[in-house]
Amino acid sequence: MARLRAAGCVFAEDEARILIDAADDEIGLEQLVVRRVAGEPLEYIVGGTEFGGLMIAVAPGVFVPRQRSLLLVETVIDVAGPTARILDLCCGSAALAAVVADRLPDATVAAADIDPIAVACAELNLAGRGQVYRGDLFSPLPSALRGALDVVVCNAPYVPTAAIATMPPEARDHERRATLDGGEDGLDLLRRVAVAAPHWLSRPGHLVMEIGDSQVDSATTIFSDAGFTPTIRTDRERGAIAVVGSVD
């Protein structure tokens, strides 16, 4: 614990307990502590993290699900009916899809990501509860899903390129750049998703995306221009903002 604290781990006591539980023996524990003290994210060292009451497997380089993204899960639950067809786009580990599938057992859940390692994690985390596709945004989806999705939830990369340098080293140095980099204003992916989503959504349908607080006005305009009625949801406690676009 002292070594973790000296290395700057804010939750050294909790992390020490997690590392002790993950290690097979003292030599193994030493190896895990060395990795953590060197700055590797705890989630990569132990192979996963808790999210929404589930253990989510996360391989090195794959985006570590953030607690703030539970706002997206709660928003999906609010707008989706119990048997809704839901796509987790830019799914990473499919943490969002897995928790949504857990809370809406009669819904049909699918997930998609461009990164093969993320897709492998997603398949593990969805474990037969939903199909996982690999490719650029909507491109790998079967045409049968066109106009058939009730909700698309998408936590796309939204960090402005220049702001990546100011992120904590755990994210900046260990998560793949493609999981974070949203282009000059952070909204490159959001623009593409907003334009494409209406072709895949049923009527009524909803697109739910996470954004940063400086992006509210731009995201609202982009959603309106794409034909959505936009609303903003905020969770101050978790520091989360979601833009919800509805089409009738």
Ligand X SMILES: C[S@@+](CC[C@H](N)C(=O)[O-])C[C@H]1O[C@@H](n2cnc3c(N)ncnc32)[C@H](O)[C@@H]1O
Q: Which residues bind ligand X (CB under 6 A)?
A: 63, 65, 69, 90-93, 95-96, 113-115, 118, 136-137, 155-157, 178-179, 189
Residue 198, φ and ψ in degrees, nearest 5: -55, -25
Q: Which one, 15 or 113, has the nearer CB to ligand X?
A: 113
Q: Which one, 90 or 222, has the nearer CB to ligand X?
A: 90
Q: Which one, 115 or 150, has the nearer CB to ligand X?
A: 115
Is 245 buried (19+), middle (13-18) or exposed (0-12) by CB count in 10 A?
Answer: buried
Q: Report the nearest approach of ligand X to the CB of residue 108 (Å).
A: 18
Cα dihedral across residues 102, 80, 73, 129: positive or negative: positive
Q: Report the nearest approach of ligand X to the CB of residue 175 (Å).
A: 8
Q: Report the nearest approach of ligand X to the CB of residue 122 (Å).
A: 9
Measure the CA–CA gap between 175 and 187, rounded to whole angstroms.
Answer: 19
Helix 95-103 to helix 116-126 angle (10° resolution) is 20
Q: Which one, 96 or 197, has the nearer CB to ligand X?
A: 96
Q: Report the nearest approach of ligand X to the CB of residue 160 (Å).
A: 13
Q: Which one, 71 or 104, has the nearer CB to ligand X?
A: 71
The three-state secondary structure class of 109 is strand
Q: Which residue is nearest to ligand X (CB)?
A: 92
Q: Which one, 74 or 113, has the nearer CB to ligand X?
A: 113
Measure the CA–CA gap between 188 and 29, rounded to whole angstroms.
Answer: 42
**Which one-letter amino acid corresponds to residue 17?**
R
Question: Read out DSSP for 17-52?
Answer: HHHHHH-SSHHHHHHHHHHHHTT--HHHHHTEEEET
Q: Report the nearest approach of ligand X to the CB of residue 240 (Å).
A: 11
Q: Report the nearest approach of ligand X to the CB of residue 84 (Å).
A: 18
Determine the straight-line distance between the first and last CA of the chain, rounded to whole angstroms. 54
